[in-house]
A and B are shown apart, each in its own frame.
Chain A
């Protein structure tokens, strides 16, 4: 089958039910997307499917066919940062950082839907993404900074 990941068409030979997470990580070598729980409880595997944040551990490979998949690598790079990544760096959000790819991808969907989210809006959309290190105060601040900058841009 074929998947479109970060604007590239990729050939894969996998079972229909292999989760997109493992297609990306093990078959395509895209490791910015993380394995945490495997049951949609932690959000570490969050990617965009047709522009919407999904838990890639719950999306079967067959379901992902014909959609546009974007991972953190497709959102921005160290040399060409997305506004959220820039804000994540400015606020030094990460501790272990393992969850931050998923947090950033979730936040990107939030700002797409709601360019000026309130604290309650942020809580509502971001509470599916665990952070065991406890960086939530900085995630909130970084989302607000990014929202402001994106609105000014």
Chain B
């Protein structure tokens, strides 16, 4: 990236990462080694070498602190440790561990710094390094932003190497054989004569030696696990119905709770009649909680049925009651006082626009629900000494803070057991359900309370993906895109999310124009501006956050300009691309899809490229316009994550991301009427079903310098690639999601 950019840095340091406010920090604190939470409850004869490995006489336990929402990071994290420890799958157990600052997420630093991911300059890396220190102090242990692998890749391999070398040292002390003559294989230290000492047999001695910190990581050529197909650790239990998700947990003596809180997300209840609910079978109590009402019963169904029988009059919404008001707010936000940041300003945009016929277009991206199929749920027991929580959540530290605030207990007295999740897509970054369960449990101390949302309540209370509007102006000359001027307006998702979690969010919100400003194209005259609309309906990070909207707007407009220029959509993107790994991604998807080859009648192809979370992704979608509507035939995807940890899980995640992106682009939106979300369940917010699912061909490239995550990046290019393909097949340009408002799908 040689071209200079202008970035409005209201604050140099933080960009848009949410940080606990008011933290004082210095070099000493940042460099101080972090506590090892495994030391706290270590029994006699158990050894721990760092926060990720614990061994006793029977069992090796690897701590995989990143939450598993379905993306498979329990296996990927374990593989990184096992690689260096010479462990095989099947020789260890895993645990999500207890919340600890030791598990702070360094990966968030990359996404939070106001630099393009493709910017590998000294300055960009220096800011990321400072941010990483801030995050260490803030102890931000979270899962999100496709950061699990960037965060874990070096750290967990190092943890495994420390464990390996320490076990060798222990074996040396036990046997008198010098460390230099010891090797490790398959969960054991091997002596020169071939005798094998299982790690578990060394636990007692290892517990007494100081962990070896000066270790060397294996060369990639020696990897046994990384980059090879693995069998996910959870695959058997997930194929036999034997894995317990949060919703499947039960605790002795627990009661069931269901809630209804204001679907207008405003000031609670104006009136309440619980008479009928209280008389229903199995109901033991009906109580008021913040914003609404809870029923306590002896069964989930009875609790949900009774809470739906409560007669409530709700207060008004703190945002426009109807969608017209929401869109009007965005429409009015393209003004200097709402300018959040000018992310790019290259060449002479005004001059470029004055030089030719200006092409203009406007795009819209709707609110969309997260709707993981496992509705939100949590079990909480509050006693006079503390609280214990069982739930699936992406921010264990947040859970502790929320429950502590409600119960009045210290954070360290809140025990949190994270659970496997039936999807999240960002939903389980939010904590209203945790707070509600804590409020209920706090009113009945000593009794475990299991709160389960109905699917309808999950939809009603969801903080969806933010709406966005984009306006492009551009010119073309000599068959090329010449001037590209794009403005995107949306409410700030980080302001909305940060406001709820009490975390300060300084600086511009990089997600408003995410998927647009960070694409490493160089167009002669190019400007990308983000406008921060006033807060509307509360919103939250939705798989790929700003990039599904920003990417749709950016790439659709680029495609339109390329067609205006009369250029080939693939060739012109490749010509404009100014980043080697990204260009190779485009060239690869062109080769995979035989771009330019002959198509059947009524077929069309579209290409889109969006970089998000540091991953350049190019997708080609092929559609056929049939007499029953658009049929999506095939999708080709090329992307670059630096290193593919597990090719099978990688392919599954990419295919899933494409299906997520396409399905919601086709048919999903949340609309508000009378302040309430009109879509109450999957019949009205469907996503993709199997009969619509195309064949999806995936290639993972490894030219990038850094290891990246793959959970989110495949999502953003899917919608624009589909819109571009529909245009190619039919001549109809669709500039607003969901597309089924404008065209039928098979």
- A residues within 8 Å of B by Cβ? 15, 18-19, 21-22, 25-27, 29, 31-39, 41-42, 44, 71-73, 76-78, 81, 85, 88-89, 92-101, 104, 122-124, 126-140
Contact = CB atoms under 8 A, between A and B. Distances in A.
Interface in B222-246: 231-232, 234-245
A92 B231 contact: yes
8 contacts: A34-B373, A72-B241, A92-B648, A104-B239, A124-B691, A127-B690, A130-B682, A139-B690
Interface residues of B, number: 64
B250 to A, nearest CB: 7
B250 A41 contact: no
B658 interface: yes
Interface string B419-435: 01111110000000000
A130 B239 CA distance: 16
B337 interface: no
A27 B70 CA distance: 28
Contacts of A97: 70, 234, 237-239, 243, 420, 422
Contacts of B422: 34, 96-99
A78 B682 contact: no
B690 A89 contact: no
Given A35-B375, A92-B231, A132-B373, 8 more contacts: A36-B375, A37-B455, A72-B240, A73-B241, A97-B422, A132-B371, A134-B658, A136-B693
Contacts of A29: 250
Contacts of A136: 659, 688, 690, 693
Nearest to B657: A134
A104 to B, nearest CB: 7
Contacts of B735: none
B143 interface: no
B260 to A, nearest CB: 15
B648 A129 contact: no
Interface centre among B231, B232, B238, B375 (most CB of A within 10 A): B238
Classify the interface of chain A: helix, strand, loop or mixed: loop
Contacts, number: 183
Interface in B624-661: 648-649, 652-653, 655-660
Given A42-B373, A99-B373, A134-B655, A26 B70 contact: no
Contact of A95 (B71, B231, B658): B71
B256 interface: yes
A94 B239 contact: yes
Nearest to A33: B241
Interface string B676-709: 0000011100111111010110000000000000
Contact of B239 (A36, A89, A132, A140): A89
B559 to A, nearest CB: 24
Interface centre among A19, A94, A138 (most CB of B within 10 A): A94
A88 B242 CA distance: 14
A86 B61 CA distance: 27
Contacts of B375: 35-36
A60 B323 CA distance: 39
A98 B652 contact: no
Contacts of B456: 38
A36 B192 CA distance: 57
Which 5 interchain pairs have the tightest Cβ spacing? Answer: A32-B241, A96-B70, A98-B422, A97-B238, A134-B659
Nearest to A74: B241
Contacts of A27: 299
Contacts of A104: 239
A101 B241 contact: yes
Contacts of B371: 132
B66 to A, nearest CB: 14
A29 B249 CA distance: 10
Contacts of A93: 239
A142 B281 CA distance: 44
A37 B241 contact: no
B242 A32 contact: yes
A123 to B, nearest CB: 4
Nearest to B70: A96
Given A19-B301, A78-B242, A97-B70, A130 B648 contact: no
Contacts of B656: 95, 133-135
B373 A92 contact: no
B688 A134 contact: yes
B111 to A, nearest CB: 22
Nearest to A27: B299
A72 B425 CA distance: 26
A100 B373 contact: no
Contact of B300 (A25, A85, A123): A25
A22 B300 CA distance: 7
Nearest to A22: B301
Nearest to A139: B690
A32 B237 CA distance: 10
